[in-house]
Structure 1
Amino acid sequence: MFVGRKFAAFLFDMDGTLINSIASAERVWSHWARRHGLDVAAFLPTIHGVRAIETITNLALPGVDPAYEADLLLKAEAADLDGILPIPGAIAFLEALPGESWAIVTSAPRSLALARMRAAGIPVPAVIVAAEDVSRGKPAPDCFQLGATRLGFDARDCLVFEDAPAGIAAAEAAQASVMVINATHAHPMQTPHVAIAGYENVSITLDERGWLAIEPQRNAA
Structure 2
Amino acid sequence: MHNGRSYGAFLFDMDGTILSSIAAAERVWAAWARKFDLDVETFLPTIHGVRARETISGLGIPGIDLEAEIEALTLAEMDDVEGIEAIAGAAELLVSLPPKRWAIVTSAPRALAARRLEAAGIPFPPLMVAGEDVENGKPAPDCFLLAARTLGQRPEDCLVFEDAIAGIQAADAAGMSVAVITATHRHRLDTWHPTVAGYDSLVATCDERGHLVISEAAGARIAELGV
Task: Give your verdict on TM over 0.5.
Answer: yes
Query: Which ranges of structure 1 fall in alignment gaps of 5 or more residues?
Result: none
Contact 2:87 2:198 in 1 (8 A): yes
Separation in 1 of the partners of 2:220 and 2:163? Answer: 22
Separation in 1 of the partners of 2:132 and 2:152? Answer: 20
**1:59 matched to 2:59:** yes
Contact 2:148 2:155 in 1 (8 A): yes
Separation in 2 of the partners of 1:96 and 1:182? Answer: 21
Following superposition, the deviation at residue 47 of structure 1 comes to 0.2
Following superposition, the deviation at residue 220 of structure 1 comes to 2.4
Separation in 2 of the partners of 1:71 and 1:155? Answer: 32
What residue in structure 2 maps to residue 18 of structure 1? 18
What residue in structure 1 maps to residue 39 of structure 2? 39
**Alignment map for 1:64-213 (pairs within 5 Å):** 64-213=64-213
Of residues 186-195 and 113-122 in structure 1, the stretch that sits farther from structure 2 once superposed is 186-195
Following superposition, the deviation at residue 60 of structure 1 comes to 0.7
- What code does the residue aligned with 2:198 have? G
CA deviations over 1:80-124 (Å, ceiling 9, x no partner): 111100011101111111111100000000000000000001121
What residue in structure 2 maps to residue 215 of structure 1? 215
Identity %: 57
Separation in 2 of the partners of 1:190 and 1:57? Answer: 27
**Which consecutive segments of 4 or more residues in structure 1 shift more than 2 A?**
none
SS state of the match for residue 82, structure 1?
A: coil
* TM superposition score normalised by structure 2: 0.95
Following superposition, the deviation at residue 218 of structure 1 comes to 1.6
Separation in 2 of the partners of 1:143 and 1:155? Answer: 11
What residue in structure 1 maps to residue 225 of structure 2? none
Query: Which ranges of structure 2 fall in alignment gaps of 5 or more residues?
Result: 222-227
Following superposition, the deviation at residue 152 of structure 1 comes to 1.0
SS state of the match for residue 218, structure 2?
A: coil
* TM superposition score normalised by structure 1: 0.98
Of residues 157-166 and 1-10 in structure 1, the stretch that sits farther from structure 2 once superposed is 1-10
RMSD: 0.9
CA deviations over 1:56-82 (Å, ceiling 9, x no partner): 000010111222111110000001111
Following superposition, the deviation at residue 155 of structure 1 comes to 1.6
